[in-house]
Structure 1
Amino acid sequence: MNISAIRKEYSLKTLDISDLSNNPIDQFNVWFQEALAAKVIEINAMTLSTIGLDGVPNARIVLLKEVDTGFVFFTNYESQKGKELAKTPFASLTFFWPELERQVRVKGKIEKVSPKLSDEYFFSRPIGSQLGAWTSPQSQKIGSREELEERLKAAENKFKDTTMTRPPHWGGYRLNPNYVEFWQGRPSRLHDRVAYEKNEKDHWDLAILAP
């Protein structure tokens, strides 16, 4: 197999800085709605990149769950990414929507969302997912699948006759962006790229980047 020969020519759309919103959150919402209309698969899947405890970059796919002043996702605070974010509260996100030949990159500081927001999302999840949050010691080594199933049974028994609660080790994070880049595929690899970057006055500067 000749991997180097794999190519796709991008030609669906263009990206003109004069057509963009002054705020990257607003522009992201425009693109997200267009991705919804295009029925992009796993539209809210994003690569979360953190700095590992060993100083080496670490990445995985997580799901975007809300866009407000930033980008919100939920996870186990005691997971590998949770420990990494506790040590270095900065991260980046990457969205790739091949159906539209688009990519969005986001960088910024991480904060935990309010307990209220974490509760609201936790209790909106299916009961199986709620139990899963109690069951999984995320990122830790386990002996077998059977061990996980035993932990699930214990969680089911725990809440059989009592009200479900959100685990104290589970909740949300918000990435507050200071840099957002929109990328539109173009022919001959001469892609369109526009970057938003926060300046010293906390306003957004826009710039066209070379592909």
Structure 2
Amino acid sequence: MISSQQAMVHVVSRNAEGVIVVDGKAYPMAEELVATESVIQRSIKAVAKQIADFYRPLSHRDTHGGGGVAPISDENPLIIISVLKGSYIFTADMVRYLGDYGLPHVVDFLRVASYRGTSSTNKMQLLAETQFKALRGKHVLILEDIVDSGKTLRYILDKVQREHQPATLKVCVLADKPGGRRVTMQPDFVCLTVPNKYVIGYGFEVNDRFRCFRHIFTLRPGEARRYPAHL
């Protein structure tokens, strides 16, 4: 259903064939509109303020000076780890808002694969490791696009905690899908809650298609079969 909030900034409708149209662009692969660009940005900005307010007063291990502890600063910034590929667009927007709110931070990336097509597999594959190694005693924030079953995020959290022993380890997700949960997992910061359906747009994809959409949609049933998994 297209809400009045979605339509406040963007022109949202369905054409004669029932296809969702946002600002004149048709999305025939979409079943429902979940969040427009304006809703997404407003949510990310609000959560960025929550994150900045939480971390700014904190201190952690001083890796710049003579040891001990030091406030979060440009010399001893918050460590952000972004999970590729899905979170790269979300990360770009989030870190700029964090900068607007005056939170010193640095960003690195890791990549874990668990999806094939629209299905989450039980096998976790680490494809790219973070280059940051001095995380012990530091405040670390994971940026993830979505928590669905929770298995990928649990794997990442356990790995970072076991190997690096940070002072704190928290999670911010663009989208929480509580209906898909298979393990106990509650993100610390959530921008959006989405239905228990496959979503596309704003970094979300089906076999690497549709990441570029400015809005988030649910995928039309059967649509994924049109796109081969291997290019």
Radius of gyration: which is bigger?
Answer: 1
Scaled by the length of structure 1, what TM-score is found? 0.27
Flag the structure with more relative contact order, 1 or 2, with Cα contacts below 8 A and sequence separation at least 6.
1
